[in-house]
Amino acid sequence: MRAKHPIHTTISTEAIRVLERYEKELGAKNAVLERALLNMDKLRFKAKLDTTRMETHIKRISTGIPGLDNLLEGGIPKGFLITLTGPPGTGKTTLAMQFLLEGTEHHEKCLLFSYEEDIKQLVKHCTRFGWDIGKYLNDGYLEVFGITRLTPEEIIDVIEAFKPERIVFDSINVFADTHNLRHTPSWRNVLKTIKTREITTIIVTEKRHGLEKREYDDYDFMSDGIIFLDKTTLSEFDTYKTYVLAIQKMRATKTDETPKPIKFTEKGIEFYKQLHLPGEKETRQRTTNPLNPRTHR
């Protein structure tokens, strides 16, 4: 029996048996069968791509950052994988926690895998901004794995058992090589699980450079969005640095990559109001206020 053409690869085993039986009976007169099977393939493929049954509305969820949702057409598209990156001390952990606590406020289950801080450190960090994460832990809306060393397989087990709607990995550099992720099947399985369950996820990564340099790693390429935090001067005349946030990538969303100035308040990160940038007096207050130290995690 001659080898089958590639068009048969999507045909069921039973269909292949039928083809073989008729090939034996009809010999070379099987062109009609081949054509029929080709049409079967087309119909099966069309059924798989029936766009009339697809959900076209993009559901967006709030980031919990005042002003950021407005830059994202209402929020992050549900189920997106977001890379939150930037150099140390720019507020990545703070923003990630605000994202999670926004979910717990709306009774969403949220999951945090922290690779650098234990639960006590996280509680202290959150207390500075008036966030009572103990309440959400006790209520079952928040689960935290501090200084975790879980394997990718164990992480999948936790996700499947807890069924979260939001996840944060902070910071993934400690556990996984950001430049070799594509060759790590176990981590691809974690991401596949997250995408299949449509869990909106933030992966915190560290950069050794600021916005002045464009250099990407595997997480940047594989994610649906990139949010970059940095400290920089807004003009050549500035003598002080301002914290800024730039949306470098967000699929299915109209965005502006221009860095936007942000500030750290008693409630966390907020955007400055339009045309209201920090002056020297406000800068001194920000650096002397114990709630707003020079660097933020």
Confidence of residue 51 (pLDDT cuts 50, 70, 90): low
Q: What is the pLDDT of residues 213-246, one digit of tens each?
A: 988 888 888 899 999 999 998 777 777 889 999 9
Distance of CA 41 to the CA centre of its chain: 36
> Is residue 279 pLDDT above 70, yes or no?
no
pLDDT for position 16: 65
> Is residue 282 pLDDT above 60, yes or no?
no
Q: What is the pLDDT of residues 180-203, one digit of tens each?
A: 666 678 888 999 999 999 999 999
> Is residue 272 pLDDT above 60, yes or no?
yes
> Is residue 138 pLDDT above 60, yes or no?
yes
Q: What is the pLDDT of residues 64-87, one digit of tens each?
A: 999 999 999 999 999 999 999 999
Q: Where are the domains of the chain?
A: 6-53, 60-288
Give the residue with greater pLDDT, 113 vs 297: 113
> Is residue 295 pLDDT above 50, yes or no?
yes
DSSP 90: B
Confidence of residue 60 (pLDDT cuts 50, 70, 90): very high
pLDDT for position 77: 98
- Measured between alpha carbons, how far is 63 from 57 in angstroms, rounded to an integer? 19
pLDDT for position 238: 76
pLDDT for position 23: 64
Which residues, at least 6 apart from 185, have a Cβ–Cβ distance to it below 8 Å?
Answer: none
Q: Comparing C-alpha atoms, which of 134, 124, 215, 117 is closest to residue 170?
A: 117
Q: What average pLDDT does the structure give for the chain?
A: 82
Q: Coil, helix or strand for 84?
A: strand
Which residues, at least 6 apart from 118, have a Cβ–Cβ distance to it below 8 Å?
Answer: 146, 147
Residue 144's alpha-carbon distances to 95, 109, 120, 200, 270, in angstroms, are: 16, 11, 11, 16, 25
pTM of the model: 0.75
Tell whether domain 60-288 is in CATH 3.40.50.300. Answer: yes
> Is residue 172 pLDDT above 80, yes or no?
yes
Confidence of residue 11 (pLDDT cuts 50, 70, 90): low
Q: Where are the beta strands (DSSP E) in 122-177?
A: 142-145, 166-170
